Amino acid sequence: MSQIKVLIVDDARFIRDHVSRIVREHFPDYHIDSAEDGEVGRKLMSAQGYDLILCDWEMPGMSGLDLLQWARKQSSYADIPFIMITSRGERDYVLKAIQAGVNDYMGKPFEDAQLVEKIKKYVGKRFETSAESRRKAAQMLAAGQTAAVAKKAKKPKGLAQLRVAAGVLRCAIKEVTLQSVQVVVKREDGIPQLLEQSVVDIEQVSGNSVAQMNGFISGLHANEKSTQTNFISVDIQFVDNDPEKLEVLTHYIASLTKNPS
């Protein structure tokens, strides 16, 4: 078998060094190259073939998304595993990456084991984001081009269970990213405590799997300007770095359908 080649693209040198160290320690036989921005990465990819791309999103000049879009237009990189490593975990960013053909999405900061599992999963595979996922992502992006449209969305994005010390609360999801979720609970069912540890069971639209995310209560808001409000919005900040949980959550975010305006 020929030597596996990995390209790391990030404008921050300490991140390139950190990722290189992880790959070198766990996969000593791999060949590693690095690039300080998307344009340098593109030139390296044009000059030789790579089996895995680990790329930052936000870089001067050619961004990670630009590099991904370019790569998917090249026959030699149409199905090469491409993992986006970035601090941007907002829903629209995830959807844009999925639409462009990303294989996976990992938020900063991350643990060594998380990156190692991603590499084990994708190296040697030719897994391409499904056309159906790209179609749904494109629809969702088109639906949310302006903040005004986004603010009009009233229907919940899904259902979940919030597990806190007082018990299990059924709730509706208002917003969700890879880092946090905002849910709505009925006041009569109980009100969580600020900074309380929690577990959020986010149900897949298909019902096939559940993302069980560990976190803590970071905010509580009355849904109405009244002491008699029946619903409370609860903000939960995730603390999980488990790659399998984040993968399930990524697919959940991608599966969300357009909210009627």
Q: Which of 250, 258, 255, 64 is nearest to 142 (CA)?
A: 258
Question: If you average pLDDT over every residue of the chain, what do you get?
Answer: 81
The model carries a pTM of 0.52
- What was the pLDDT predicted at 107? 79
The partner residues of 94 in beta bridges, in order of sequence, read none
Higher pLDDT, 250 or 176: 176
Section 82-98 average pLDDT = 77
Give pLDDT tens digits for 142-153.
665 544 344 444
* CB-CB neighbours of 195 under 10 Å: 10
The CA distances from residue 119 to 22, 82, 242, in Å, are 11, 10, 14
Answer yes or no: is pLDDT of 127 > 60. no
Tens digits of per-residue pLDDT, 169-211? 989 898 888 888 999 999 888 889 988 889 999 876 555 567 7
* Per-residue pLDDT band at 123 (split at 50, 70, 90): confident
CA angle 79, 83, 85 (to 5 degrees): 160
Q: Which structural domains are found in the chain, ordered by start?
A: 5-143 (3.40.50.2300), 152-255 (2.40.10.220)
The DSSP letter of residue 75 is: G
At residue 203, the pLDDT reads: 75
pLDDT digits (tens, 9 = 90+) for 203-241: 765 555 677 888 999 999 988 877 888 899 999 998 877
In this prediction, residue 88 carries a pLDDT of 67
SS3 26: helix
Tokens 């969702």 identify what position?
Answer: 140
Which is nearest to 68 in space by CA: 138, 23, 145, 7?
Answer: 7
